[in-house]
Amino acid sequence: MATAVKAKQVTMAQAINRALRDALAEDPSVHVLGEDVGRLGGVFRITDGLTAEFGEDRCGDTPLAEAGILGTAVGMAMYGLRPVVEMQFDAFAYPSFEQLVSHVSRMRNRTRGAMPMPITIRVPYGGGIGGVEHHSDSSEAYYMATPGLRVYTPATVEDAYGMLREAIACDDPVVFLEPKRLYWSKSADFSLDAPAAVAPPGKAVVRRAGTSATLITYGPSVPVCLEAAQAARAEGRDLEVVDLRSLVPFDDETVAASVRRTGRAVVVHESTGFGGPGGEIAARVTERCFHHLEAPVLRVAGFDIPYPPPMLEKHHLPGVDRILDAVERLQWESEYVAGGAD
């Protein structure tokens, strides 16, 4: 039985490759550009075979300059093309920030809708692969803080395909954050030839239903939270796991509905806690669910430090134990007594 399942298994990397291939095949205005995306097929092999199939004009290497890649993509979009650019690593995307913040995110608004920017910016992000400095950043907070951008991040093979297709078809610019440590995660249910429909972007999904508390998470932390929920059963906790999928737009409705059901919430992400997405999410949950909350919304995030060297990253990344410790701090019994004994 194990062999049969293995034969059908598809990785997230393969699903993303297929999404790009299908988009290129269906829409002649789609163009893939970036560093090493041509003959090599990308450093993660995400664009493998695309240049051979569609030619260099449709999937081609650019000079090594991220601002130039995104800046020229703006011009291509102005002319009616639908560029899909690859930023090789999270931290390598920073040179392109001015184009992103000053033009990509604002062009539609600036021109009162006359000139939308249907650009997809693929960014392999996050840690856990033993990368040296500048290869493991969680840069989502920067993107979330920029109005005009959509920010998607898949956690499953199915979403990787479906959400990327949606992103490319979308007339708004989408920062598509690919959790690089999930590139080799597999799904036995996903078929490359008949991809299943996924929830529309902008909708969060409950990955595991539970009653005790809600873990609100996304991207690379989703499998970690599912594992934590599994482990929590032994401790008598039944945790719900909400996969946000889209950080912008943010699905307040699904998140708040879950927290109202469970009465407790922990936000989990790799990004730094201070100024990170968790603060915004905790505030939104509190604003909407205050009378349903049994405890303050807690955050389990990366430390407020530059991303650590690979030999130390395990201490930085939110793991099952740190998540379960946070769950234990959700004031299951009235621990605080005003003026109580010291």
Partner 1 sequence: MTVTEQSRRTAKAPRTTRTRRTAKATAPAWQPRTDPAPLLPEVEPHRVLGTGAKLDPELMSGLYAELVRGRRYNQQATALTKQGRLAVYPSTTGQEACEIAAAKVLRDQDWLFPSYRDTLAAVARGLDPVQALTLLRGDWHSGYDPRECRIAPLSTPLATQLPHAVGLAHAARLKGDDVVALAMVGDGGTSEGDFHEALNFAAVWQAPVVFLVQNNGYAISVPLEKQTAAPTLAHKGVGYGIPGRLVDGNDVAAVYEVLAEAVERARSGGGPTLVEAVTYRMDAHTNADDATRYREDAEVEAWRAHDPVALLERELTERGMLDEAGIEAARAAAEEMAAALRERMNEDAVLDPMDLFAHVYEERTTQLREQERLLRAELEAAEADASEGDQH
Binding site for partner 1 (CB under 8 A): 31, 57, 62-63, 65, 67-68, 70-81, 83, 95, 98-99, 102-103, 106-116, 147-148, 150, 170-172, 202, 248-250, 252-253
Q: How far is the CB of 174 from partner 1 (least distance, A)?
A: 11
Between 56 and 189, CB nearer to partner 1:
56
Q: Collapsing DSSP states into helix, strand and coil, what is residue 62?
A: coil
Concerning whether 103 is annotated as a catalytic residue, the answer is: no
Q: How far is the CB of 47 from partner 1 (least distance, A)?
A: 18
Q: Token pair for residue 229?
A: 């929920």
Between 98 and 304, CB nearer to partner 1:
98
Between 170 and 295, CB nearer to partner 1:
170
Q: How far is the CB of 109 from partner 1 (least distance, A)?
A: 4
Q: How far is the CB of 253 from partner 1 (least distance, A)?
A: 8
- For residue 60, what are the β-bridge partners? 33
Of 232, 240, 253, 238, the C-alpha closest to 209 is 240
**What is the distance between the alpha carbons of residues 105 and 168, in angstroms, rounded to a whole number?**
15
Q: How far is the CB of 136 from partner 1 (least distance, A)?
A: 25
Q: How far is the CB of 312 from partner 1 (least distance, A)?
A: 33
**What is the distance between the alpha carbons of residues 300 and 120, in angstroms, rounded to a whole number?**
29
Q: What are phi and psi of 174, to 5 degrees?
A: -120, 125
CA–centroid distance for 327 within its chain: 23
Between 118 and 220, CB nearer to partner 1:
118
**What is the distance between the alpha carbons of residues 197 and 100, in angstroms, rounded to a whole number?**
30
Neighbours of 279 (CB within 10 A): 16
Look at the block and give the residue holding tokens 């740190």: 322
First to last CA, the chain: 59
Between 199 and 317, CB nearer to partner 1:
199
Neighbours of 108 (CB within 10 A): 18
Neighbours of 36 (CB within 10 A): 16
Sheet of 265-272, strands arranged across: 205-208, 239-243, 213-217, 265-272, 298-302
Between 74 and 324, CB nearer to partner 1:
74
The catalytic residue among 31, 103, 135, 269 is 135
Q: Token pair for residue 265?
A: 């919430």
**What is the distance between the alpha carbons of residues 222 and 154, in angstroms, rounded to a whole number?**
9
Residues with a known catalytic role = 135
